[in-house]
Amino acid sequence: MALAGVFAVVAACGSDADNSAAPAATGPHSAHAGGSSAPPQPLRAGERFVDLRMAGAYTPAPPEGGGSDEYRCQVIDPGLSKTAFLTGTQFAPENVAIAHHAIAYAVPPGGAAAVRRQDAKTPGLGWQCFGGTGVAGAEVEEGDAAWVDTWAPGATETLLDQDAGYKLEPGSLLVLQIHYNLLATDGKPTGSDRSAVRLRLTDGTPRTRELETWPVDAPTDLPCAADESGPLCDRAASIADVTKRFGPDVGEMADRQVEECGRRVPKPGNTQTCDHKVEAPMTLFAGFGHMHMLGRALKVELNPGTPKAQVVLDVPQFDFDNQRLVKLPSPVEIGPGDTLRVTCTHDAGLRKQLPQLKKLPPRYVVWGDGTSDEMCTGIMMVSLRES
């Protein structure tokens, strides 16, 4: 999930099986209780709002491979006739009972035709899109699209204090990927959704900083609890199940992350880490920690174990229903020679406490797109700068 051509993932990935330091659970995770109903902050000089909605109502259904999660992508056209900077985004889910999270991808004019073809050839509204946009020529991993916003329960408007935004050229499109979760209905379709998104745009000035999104990930290798057993408590069986539900690209993530983090074999445990080397000069503005319902804590550290060590993102008591962008007190300049370490702690014991998960069979939890799977990612907002 790194931005192609700019960032490289290297070095130590580790695990700590001792969960004694994990914070107490913040609650039963009411799952999707939070929305984005908070009013936006006032417009600043030169900014304007553009309000957009999905083209129609959509009723999600589980994928053919089974499970209770659907990722659906929709095309949203901001109608740009000149270059603009996206300085703020506020996603408004219509049906918070099934909206797990949403990501907005900006597709430049060169990928717009591919996105429209994908939409036109797929029956119904939008298309299924696990992982990214699912469109060749408009994928983040290939540098053909940009990850410009993330919403999860509890999030409000994404807005920085600095004069900074994501650059959108005329003819650019947005792809809105919504993760619908149907755990509450045992995977059966229920209700429709027609969510909306409000864009905060400005023409920008020569001083406006161009933002990029850098996700720094760590593996998830969370074994079943000591008192749990079942066929999915085997790592290989769990990966096969993820692959069946979401396809090989997602199914390969568990092993790929272990390799990218410098290990030959996974080391099961509650806490996992991964170091990411900074390969280009950049300014770090903010971060957003994302896990699923077994998440306990997440941290991103700059140059850990050195005199320059600094925590740039700290979520000591992760709450699925309160995932928010955390702005740094002041921007931090980083560059080649620096390291960002992401650390996540998960707790399999929460599975017995959460109504959404307690009815599911125990499993060895690896990276996956489902709510019953897990993730560990610090989504960092950065701006490249001259050397």
Based on the structure, what is the number of domains in the chain? 2
- Say which DSSP state 293 is in: T
Residues 298 and 338 grouped into a single domain: yes
Torsion angles phi and psi, residue 364, rounded to 5: -75, 115
Report the alpha-carbon distance of residue 136 to residue 79 in Å, rounded: 23
Residue where a domain terminates, one of 207, 227, 258: 207
- 207 dihedral zone (left: phi>0; alpha: psi -120 to 50; beta): alpha
295 with 374: CB under 8 angstroms? yes
| CATH value at residue 256 | 2.60.120
- Say which DSSP state 161 is in: S
Evaluate whether residue 33 is within a structural domain. no
Report the alpha-carbon distance of residue 70 to residue 6 in Å, rounded: 30
Instruction: Calculate ∠ Cα 68-267-4, nearest 5°.
Output: 65
Domain limits for position 320: 209-386
Evaluate whether residue 188 is within a structural domain. yes
Digit-by-digit pLDDT tens for the chain (387 residues) are 333 333 233 344 554 444 333 333 333 344 444 444 567 789 999 999 999 999 999 999 877 766 778 889 999 999 999 999 999 999 999 988 888 889 899 999 999 999 999 999 999 999 988 778 989 889 876 678 888 888 888 788 878 888 999 999 999 999 999 989 887 666 676 789 999 999 999 999 999 999 998 989 999 999 999 999 999 999 999 999 999 988 998 999 999 999 999 998 999 999 999 999 999 999 999 998 989 889 999 999 999 999 999 999 999 999 877 778 888 999 999 999 999 999 999 999 999 998 778 888 999 999 998 878 999 999 899 999 876
Residues 306 and 200 grouped into a single domain: no
> What Å distances lie between residue 26 and 22, 294, 299, CA to CA?
11, 11, 17
3-class secondary-structure state, position 221: strand
Pick from 323, 328, 319, 322: nearest CA to 300 = 328
Residue where a domain terminates, one of 175, 207, 239: 207
Residue where a domain terminates, one of 176, 191, 207: 207
